[in-house]
Amino acid sequence: LVKRVSQAVTFDLLLADSRPTSWYCAASFRLVSNVVFFRLSALLMAGTWPCCPTHTELPAMPLTPAAAPPLTPAERLWTATRDQAVKLRMEGSGPGSETPLTVHQMFLETVQNFGDHPAMASKEDSRWVTVSWREYYRQSRAAAKSFLKLGLERYHGVGILGFNSPEWFIADVGCILAGGLAAGIYTTNSPEACQYVAENCEANVLVVENHKQLVKILQVKDQLPHLKAIVQYKDELQERLPNLYTWAEFMKLGEEVSDETLDAVIGTLRANECCTLIYTSGTTGNPKGVMLSHDNLTWTAAAAGVMTELVYGEEVVVSYLPLSHVAAQVNDLWISVKFAGTTYFASPDALKGSLGATLKEARPTAFLGVPRVWEKMQEKMKAAGAKASPLKMRVAGWAKGLGLQYNYSVMNKEPAVPWGFMLANNLVFKKVRQALGLDRCKACFTGAAPMTRETLEYFMSLNLPLLELYGMSESSGPHTVSLPEDNAIMSCGKVLRGCRTKLDRPDEDGNGEVCFWGRHVFMGYLNMADKTEEALDQDGWLHSGDLGKHDSNNFLFITGRIKELIITAGGENIPPVPIEDAVKAEASIVSNAMLLGDKLKFLSMFLTLKCEADENGEPTDDLSPEALAYCQRLGVTATKISEIVANKEPAVYAAIQEAMERINARSTSNAMKVQKWLILDRDFSITGGELGPTLKLKRPVVTKKYQEKINELYSLVPEAQG
């Protein structure tokens, strides 16, 4: 501590005078030593000591208000039936032995301890309106009564189709309290995809955001025999139809349902029974309905929060990722319920540009972004930096070098702080955090897809390290977690406490299929016993389909996905992601890269270029600022993707080919070298079908969509491109 403060004071003095550095080092060290000595003496006398983050004691968990209801007897660890209970993977001691709770039990605990704390905040007429935990609970009960009034049957679904909002949360919790199964539906779903989800969960009620989403349901409602009502929670109804309600009308429907009636239903809820369905986005075929129990949600929320050292009643998050995805739902909804956090709801155009403004106003204490969100943030920051004055660019470069050095030293458990880091923190890093709205953020997380080393190191250089999470819908979200003081670059962190990881059938390098065990493991796939038996082995281990290995410190590294492995005609297994990431790192104009070559004689690759998005978030033909800067460095004046592709712009194509050759030179075999590549005329997108809701690449969709171009690539003998 003396050394760190001494460095900061020394640099401040150096900026103002030109005496020998050694004079200031000695003087500042003496000054700070005295100050720190008296400060630490006072702390010791008071019996308090500023602990390191890794040893911070968490506040005592609030007492559970009442005994948890008994579990439904069950012999099996899995089921594919909505009304069957499962045996929980209880441990004899530690986090895995915690008493199972229902969602209502967890919610009530928070209301009794933090009833007047803000639970949700949403913007109305340009100002933030908050709802307390007590009011949130009252409205959730009112929604539950209304669902009962509408005829919601036990274990039947309530589909929620809309952007994140207080109504989304209230509908979800209300459905669960009424004994239903809450099922989020992606807003990008087609009418047919919405129909499948509603049909699969036998939805009695569908809650939609606005007229746009309502139209989808109206197109298919005649094919939904279980549907009894539709509720629209935003905007005025454009037409009156039977069993169609506004949110205000819906919330009044259950006024005649007594508290005793609702409490009787709540009293029958059991922790080892299903309460939520997460529909996988699925790259092929219909999505699978992942059945999550009360215990899956409540135990995982507690375990994840304790491991990341959340503080009861003090956490703030911004909700903007689709709540139908497990990562957003567990992070924004359930962990907030457990730890009495405050959830700020972003605008529906968050990913189109408004997220930054929301972050500055909400100032979250933790933030979760999928890799593409961080990459977009990186692109904008680099574009802004390119316009800075030469002096500012030099200062930023100096600071970023120290930031990267410091964060690697933290990662490597090295106690030394780089000389000048404190000054860089004050001059650059704090300002960057404030500009991003992350000045209160204790941890920035990334998950749902792999992150490139280049992006990870970029944010490390800004002293904003991104902590990788790993998990899946079938593990109720997180399975491994990276922590600020315990992480390794390119790893997914360490297993959630109370859970276990097994690497099945490892090869000579230690790579095996990553398998999960713990109370976060799902119940099964709704109505899909065969798929459930494929995912869960006879001992109850969940097989992820991912390949991974552990290092000597027990950090998990994902090395590929079994289904994504490219098996060449020569029989060599090649994971595509490392090669794709290398291309994006070597050629900064590239937005997306997808490796091809399964069962073919050689590897080739599709590339897309970085571009601007329109007001709907769709990719345009205009090159992004970073892509324009790339072209300008090459002396290219093109401003559109079509210009580069149509003319096969020699300088751009040559630069990309040189990048490919550098990557090929590092390959361990000829089979791993990319022989041909092709630039597509449009970047991938959600509406284009190439990306999933969390911007993860859908390889089968790309393959099918561009099959003719694949045929072209493999119809000729590979030759050098330039």
SS3 at position 602: coil
Residue 511: which region, alpha, beta or left (left: phi > 0; alpha: psi -120 to 50)? beta
Task: For residues 336 and 312, give the distance between their C-alpha atoms in angstroms, rounded to a whole number.
Answer: 9
- Please work out, in degrees rounded to the nearest 5, the angle formed at the alpha carbon of residue 495 by the alpha carbons of 71 and 526: 45
Give me the pLDDT at residue 94, please. Answer: 94
Dihedral angle of Cα 349, 212, 689, 200, to the nearest 10 degrees: 120
SS3 at position 451: coil
For residue 107, which of 304, 364, 302, 317 has the smallest C-alpha distance?
302
pLDDT at residue 120 tops 70: yes
Quick one: what percent of the chain has pLDDT higher than 70?
89
Which two tokens mark 454?
Answer: 């280049």
Q: 351-563 and 566-713 share one CATH topology?
A: no
Q: What is the pLDDT averaged over residues 375-394?
A: 88
Which two tokens mark 295?
Answer: 């215990």
Task: For residues 675 and 714, give the distance between their C-alpha atoms in angstroms, rounded to a whole number.
Answer: 10
Long-range residue pairs from 433-437, CB within 8 A, at least 24 positions apart, any chain: 433/464, 436/356, 436/359, 436/360, 436/377, 436/464, 437/356, 437/358, 437/359, 437/360, 437/361, 437/362, 437/363, 437/364
Per the CB < 8 A criterion, the answer to whether 483 and 442 are in contact is: no
Tens of pLDDT, residue by residue over 454-489, are 999 999 999 999 999 999 999 999 999 999 999 999
Helices (H), 349-424: 355-362, 371-385, 390-411, 421-424
What is the pLDDT confidence band of residue 68, given thresholds at 50, 70 and 90?
low
Q: Where are the domains of the chain?
A: 2-50, 115-269, 351-563, 566-713
Give me the pLDDT at residue 505, please. Answer: 92
DSSP string, 227-243: --EEEE-SS--SS--TT
Which CATH architecture is the domain 115-269 placed in?
3-Layer(aba) Sandwich (3.40)
What is the pLDDT confidence band of residue 448, given thresholds at 50, 70 and 90?
confident
* CATH code, residues 566-713: 3.30.300.30
pTM of the model: 0.81
Tens of pLDDT, residue by residue over 203-214, are 999 999 999 999
Per the CB < 8 A criterion, the answer to whether 431 and 392 are in contact is: no
Q: What is the pLDDT averaged over residues 82-88?
A: 97
- Please work out, in degrees rounded to the nearest 5, the angle formed at the alpha carbon of residue 335 by the alpha carbons of 312 and 439: 65
Tens of pLDDT, residue by residue over 629-655, are 999 999 999 999 999 999 999 999 999
Per the CB < 8 A criterion, the answer to whether 588 and 382 are in contact is: no
Q: Determine the straight-line distance between the first and last CA of the chain, rounded to whole angstroms.
A: 55
SS3 at position 560: strand
Give me the pLDDT at residue 283, please. Answer: 55
Q: From 3.40.50.12780, 3.40.50.300, 3.90.230.10, 3.40.50.1100, which CATH number describes the 351-563 domain?
A: 3.40.50.12780
Beta strands 573-574 and 229-232, pairing class: unpaired
Tens of pLDDT, residue by residue over 560-583, are 888 888 887 777 778 898 899 899
Give me the pLDDT at residue 76, please. Answer: 96
Most confident by average pLDDT, 141-155, 413-427, 680-694: 141-155
